[in-house]
Chain A
Amino acid sequence: AQTVTQSQPEMSVQEAETVTLSCTYDTSESDYYLFWYKQPPSRQMILVIRQEAYKQQNATENRFSVNFQKAAKSFSLKISDSQLGDAAMYFCAYSPSNTGNQFYFGTGTSLTVIP
């Protein structure tokens, strides 16, 4: 069974500081994709960043970057220069590439940004 674990239900960060959200996953697949989604209070799910497992290089999108450790099955999200608008629930998700259609989400981390 595929599982995604986010062990930090809540995190907080001072504005302009850096915060790292953790995610681990369990899979026997060798090729898959990992995602971080943001869900603000509006409930709209927004893709933040994605990583393909066969790529060694960590993905980066502006202030958002990941630390992908394939052997450890770890996929953490780093948010630099945190802004008030970053406050949201963050979900880690996994999808095996052999189906392209099964997506598994973690339980989420609620991020508070302190002014």
Chain B
Amino acid sequence: NAGVTQTPKFRILKIGQSMTLQCAQDMNHNYMYWYRQDPGMGLKLIYYSVGAGITDKGEVPNGYNVSRSTTEDFPLRLELAAPSQTSVYFCASRTGTFPGEQYFGPGTRLTVT
């Protein structure tokens, strides 16, 4: 199993540009999450999904959108990038049995200038 994969690993965006961060998992997990980690801070939940077609907001959803058309993929869309979105983004997945261990991807470091 590859586990949770994220692409790209690094990206630099100009203010106002858009991009999609990709996340995929091959563990057949229903639950998937997007977090951001700002320098010196813990992770904050952006969006989560409990299964294909179902998504919901976390603690800091503004400026982001998600979709979940398949069990495997959970892309995060940034529209009109702003410097405040400079962060490291982590995707995670877990089984349906709570609390169930969350498996994290390696992260995407995004800089908006």
| Chain A residues within 8 Å of B, Cβ to Cβ | 4, 6, 33, 35, 42-47, 50, 52, 91, 93, 95, 97, 100-108
Partner of A101, one of B44, B48, B104: B48
CB-defined contacts of A102 to chain B, threshold 8 Å: 45, 58-59
CB-defined contacts of B74 to chain A, threshold 8 Å: none
Pairwise interchain contact A105-B44, C-beta atoms closer than 8 A: yes
Interface residue SS majority, chain B? strand
> What are the 4 closest A-B residue pairs judged by CB atoms, nearest first?
A105-B42, A45-B104, A100-B98, A33-B99
CB-defined contacts of A45 to chain B, threshold 8 Å: 43, 90, 92, 102, 104
Pairwise interchain contact B42-A4, C-beta atoms closer than 8 A: yes
For A35, give the chain B residue with the smallest CB separation: B99
Q: Report the interface size class on chain B.
A: 20 to 34
Nearest CB of B to A18, in Å: 24
Partner of A52, one of B43, B48, B59, B99: B99
8 of the cross-chain contacts (CB-CB < 8 Å) are A43-B107, A44-B107, A93-B43, A95-B99, A101-B50, A103-B45, A105-B44, A108-B42
CB-defined contacts of A4 to chain B, threshold 8 Å: 42
Pairwise interchain contact B42-A100, C-beta atoms closer than 8 A: no
Nearest CB of A to B47, in Å: 10
For A89, give the chain B residue with the smallest CB separation: B42
Complex: A97 Cα to B41 Cα, angstroms: 24
Complex: A97 Cα to B97 Cα, angstroms: 11
Given contacts A100-B98, A101-B48, whether A43 and B106 have CB atoms under 8 Å apart is yes
Complex: A100 Cα to B33 Cα, angstroms: 12
**Does B40 count as interface, using CB distance less than 8 angstroms?**
yes
For B44, give the chain A residue with the smallest CB separation: A105
Partner of B98, one of A97, A105, A108: A97
